[in-house]
Amino acid sequence: MDLVNHLEGRLLFAVPKKGRLLQAALNLLEGADIQFKRENRLDIALVKNLPIALIFLPAADIPTFVGEGRVDLGITGFDQVKEHDAGTRALARLRRMSNEWDADKAGKPRGCETVLDLGFGFCRLQVQVPAKGGYAEGKDLIGKNIGTSFVHLAREYFARLELEQEGVKDAAQQQQQPLEGRKLRTKIIELSGSVEAACALGVADGIVDLVESGETMKAAGLKAIDTVVETSAILIKSKAPSNPALVSLIASRIHGVITAQKYVLCQYNVPRAKLADATHVTPGKRAATVTSLDEEGWVAVSAMVEQKRIATVMDDLVQVGATDILVLDIHNTRSS
């Protein structure tokens, strides 16, 4: 089946084709009832129950495809969006300087917008140096060799440090100094993989790379001395999607799945005289649901509670006199 010829009329949704975000993204799509089958590791999959086509792309490329309007929606890391934005700023400046800036194209709605933080893939883009070396702060690496796959964010980071070293420390003054076109004393070396080996192999004095658990960093004999950006997986959309209503539907479904993963439903019985104390413990997202029982003076209460707090909440409910406490999983939810 030639899937490319079946894309017309479908909303294009980019998903990471591999890496740390892939499985969690697929689980999220399953929870949102986006039904598909990816045949033979193909990079296109047609959704069976909605007019959507999933496009499997490298996470680093997804902000570009969404930002250019080639794809309507995408799941990627916040770090990748920031890197793309920094690269876009640098390219725009170069074009303006070379008189290649097209005012008509500049007026089109390009770029991507964040729809949701998806609540997984948490890590940090950090400046790292040999643990046994003499570097303690980011400014110690000014003028040195830096290995990274995030070349644009690394350039902006060291451009700011160089400005500070020159006495331009005020944020407003720094904004007047174009970071993108600045000639750096620090050398940024682009690496596409195994960045953590760059110091040990003598390629770089320090690196800028993602740190999740820190185990890989420690195993490579490195330590973090600064954080460039904190990141997690996000849902992004084009500024001019082909089907805004369907984008809103998908976002609503995914938001429902994320909410369901964070909350449980707590149900219990409590004397009406103790109701105010009990609902103070379980106020719910908007308000608790209270129902009178056949037994005089008793009510039943239902409330959504954050899953990470449920053990403490149950203890507190017992203390105020609640009984028959039940905790139920929430598989999905919707809210306006």
Average pLDDT over residues 4-30: 90
Q: What is the CA radius of gyration of the chain?
A: 25
Q: Are strands 298-306 and 263-271 parallel, antiparallel or unpaired?
A: antiparallel
CATH number at residue 79: 3.40.190.10
Give the chain's mean pLDDT: 89
Same domain (yes/no): 11, 109 = yes
Host H or E run for residue 93 = helix 78-97
Q: Are 115 and 156 contained in the same domain?
A: no
Do 143 and 226 fall into the same domain? Answer: yes
Q: Are residues 305 and 321 both part of a single domain? A: yes
The percentage of the chain sitting over the pLDDT mark of 90, rounded to a whole number, equals 76
Question: Is residue 181 over pLDDT 90?
Answer: no
Range of the domain at 270: 263-329
pTM: 0.83
Tens of pLDDT, residues 299-326: 999 999 999 999 999 999 999 999 999 9
pLDDT, tens digit, for every residue of 246-266? 999 999 999 999 999 999 999
pLDDT digits (tens, 9 = 90+) for 126-166: 999 999 989 999 999 999 999 999 999 999 999 999 988 88
User: Residue 176 corresponds to which tokens in the numbers above?
Assistant: 């007047």
- Which tokens hold the place of 186? 């620090």
Would the pLDDT of 72 be above 70?
Answer: yes
Residue 94: is its pLDDT beyond 70?
no
Q: Is residue 268 part of a domain?
A: yes
- What is the C-alpha separation between 46 and 51, in angstroms, rounded? 8
